[in-house]
Amino acid sequence: MVISVGDRLPEATLVRIGAEGPEQVQLSERLKGRNVVIFAVPGAFTPTCHSAHVPSFIRTKDQFAGKGVDEIICVSVNDPFVMKAWGESTGASGAGITMLADADGAFTKALGLAFDAPPVGLIGRSRRYALQAKDGVVAVIHLEESPGVCETSGGEALLAAI
């Protein structure tokens, strides 16, 4: 079943690199009592993710804050070291976007949003989406039909919907 508006986001442990190395991040703790935007990409450093999706949230971060969004989180089925490097190379980390790894894909699978694209080497990856969650409940969700497209899941499109 694919996550939809009104659903509570599942419990998940994501990973990031902190000052002391890899850190577990309990998603429910990040969401409790907060207005959070989460966007997911099929893969760090892949063309559309790198040149369109992440930049759209960097451009709109201040506007989201103006609408009461407490945090913007980027999730990818990658390891936390890749997510850290990608956040630094795109400027997302410097802009204040939280880069979290769904290292084993468990969160993505629980959302019903995992897909495989063997011809390009993407196995167990996340569909491209963006959502707004209020206190852990999905208020708005935009799913892309194709992993190579960033239209409805881009920062500007989600911003216009909230």
Dist CA 114 CA 45 (whole Å): 18
The CA-atom distances, in angstroms, between 128 and each of 8, 67, 69, 123, 151 are 19, 23, 20, 14, 10
Q: What ranges make up the beta strands (E) of the chain?
A: 13-18, 21-26, 35-41, 71-76, 98-101, 114-117, 122-126, 129-134, 137-143
Active-site pick, 49, 54, 99, 138:
49
Distance between CA atoms of residues 17 and 6, nearest Å: 31
The whole-angstrom separation of Cα 101 and Cα 23 is 10
Q: Could you confirm whether 49 is annotated as catalytic?
A: yes
Q: Is residue 44 classed as helix, strand or coil in its secondary structure? A: coil
The DSSP code for 125 is E
Q: Could you list the active site residues?
A: 49
